[in-house]
Amino acid sequence: MNVRKIVTVVDEVLTEGGRPVEPAARVAVVAAVIENPWSGQGFVEDLAPGIDAHASDLGALLAPRVMEALGAAPEAFGKAAVVGLDGEIEHGSALIHTLKFGDHFRTAASATTLLPAVEKRGPAGVLFDIPLKHVTDATIRSHHQSFEVRLPDAPHPGEIVIALAAAAQGRPQQRLAALSTEQ
């Protein structure tokens, strides 16, 4: 796996709706910019060898970094793959939609739900939103949120951005009723 760079972003919301957020609402994202392992090969029918060679290593690289950056137990989490213009969206999906990748984060976060995800293709600097949901109950509305990310110089055409995001809480000042109130 050829990693060009790793980017870490930590965001803390201190006020929302004109009121203090206490404690501050914290979200961390760690993104690895990697060489697309299928780049330049034309259409690759069997992606399994590339998944086996890279997915677990990516999960092992990113999960501890996002946990450290968050500095708290995650309550919500998500993932993303953004493929450069010379690749296929399926290349990013292959790396993040496998337990070989996601179980590293689920284990670190003591999570039981599947990680929500976004996959897309785009040029360097493309915006993408990482969806987040609660780590043990995807129906908890307060933790349905997204975090916008942009890496000015990534992905290059033959690269993939693989990112994990974690939040230490739900949305700041959330006040929607539980889903069970509508059932």
Instruction: Judge whether 131 and 89 are in contact, CB under 8 Å.
Output: no
pLDDT tens track for 53-84: 999 999 999 999 999 999 999 999 999 999 99
Does residue 174 sit within a domain?
A: no
3-state DSSP helix/strand/coil percent for the chain, to nearest 5? 25, 35, 35
Q: What are the CA-CA distances from residue 89 to residues 24, 73, 107 (Å)?
A: 35, 31, 26
Does residue 182 sit within a domain?
A: no
Does residue 44 sit within a domain?
A: yes
Does residue 161 sit within a domain?
A: no
Question: How far, in Å, CA of 77 to CA of 20, rounded?
Answer: 23
Tally of domains in the chain = 1
Compute the average pLDDT of residues 19-38.
97
Does residue 62 sit within a domain?
A: yes
Q: What does the pLDDT read at residue 179?
A: 73
pLDDT value at 111 more than 90: yes
Residue range(s) defining the domain that contains residue 104? 3-150
Compute the average pLDDT of residues 23-38.
97
- 3-state class (DSSP) for residue 69: helix
Does residue 168 sit within a domain?
A: no
Does residue 28 sit within a domain?
A: yes
Does residue 180 sit within a domain?
A: no
| CATH number, position 35 | 3.30.1330.110
Q: What does the pLDDT read at residue 176?
A: 82
Question: How far, in Å, CA of 137 to CA of 122, rounded?
Answer: 31
Give the predicted TM-score (pTM) of the model.
Answer: 0.95
pLDDT tens track for 125-182: 999 999 999 999 988 999 999 999 999 999 999 999 999 999 999 999 988 877 777 7
Question: How far, in Å, CA of 144 to CA of 152, rounded?
Answer: 26
